[in-house]
Amino acid sequence: MCINLFKRDEIPIHRDLSDIKDICRILFIDDEEFEIVEILKKQGWEARRIEDVDNLDGADIRDNHIFFVDISGVGKKLNYSKEGLSIISEIKRKFPEKKVIAYSSLTQDAFDIDIKSADERISKNSGTREFQRVLEEKAQELFSYEMIKKRIIDLICHETGQTLPEHSIDKLLRRREIKQDYIIKKFHVAKEVAYLIINLILLFKAR
């Protein structure tokens, strides 16, 4: 796997919320209409809803960055007994760089079940402002250059025990071309970790 990055003088150093809205794609997985989707679209977010997912390797999952998943009523096309909970855990297993928010309109006792895989949980009955807060927070975590660098450093540290200085990741991000094999050899990480680093760099590249 190989990707091309910016020219050295094209690398931006900051993304504000309007920049992030231009590149962030949001998918709600919910078998019922949900007005927050249209509200977010009016605010400039690229958001849409599907009733269920039938392929976790398909474009609906691959091409989106942030997922809001109802914990009930979905997952039926994949015969998941735990419905939305299974979708959440599978998205995070296959695409750990993506952000997944669990939500539900069920009683609080039902919603208090263990959802370790989700990056956040929220009640479906929360107001628009709370959904906005969670979305903005997760989008900034996902596309902030500083957060991308930190996640790469943490990945390498977890894999090798080696704590890298930030400037070494700056150099990595400034390379005109990056191959998966280069990351494996340079940082002594497994193929799976190198693949995840490539996906994080793609978030850095997004524009």
Extents of the domains making up the chain: 17-142, 145-205
Average pLDDT estimate for 144-172: 89
Query: Residue 63 carries which side chain, given as an amino acid letter?
Result: D
Using CA atoms, how far apart are residues 86 and 123, in angstroms rounded to an integer? 18
Q: Is the pLDDT of residue 11 over 60?
A: no
Orientation of helix 166-174 relative to helix 191-205, angle to 10°:
70
Q: Is the pLDDT of residue 118 over 50?
A: yes
Q: Is the pLDDT of residue 13 over 80?
A: no
Contact present, 68 and 103 (Cβ < 8 Å): yes
The pTM assigned to this predicted structure is 0.85
Which has more confidence, 152 or 110? Answer: 152
Using CA atoms, how far apart are residues 131 and 123, in angstroms rounded to an integer? 9
pLDDT at 6: 46
What does the mean pLDDT of the chain come to?
87
Domain 17-142: which CATH class?
A: alpha beta
pLDDT at 144: 87
Contact present, 155 and 197 (Cβ < 8 Å): yes
Query: Residue 67 carries which side chain, given as an amino acid letter?
Result: F
**34-91 pLDDT, tens digit each:** 999 999 999 999 999 999 999 999 999 999 999 999 998 999 999 998 889 999 999 9
pLDDT at 9: 46
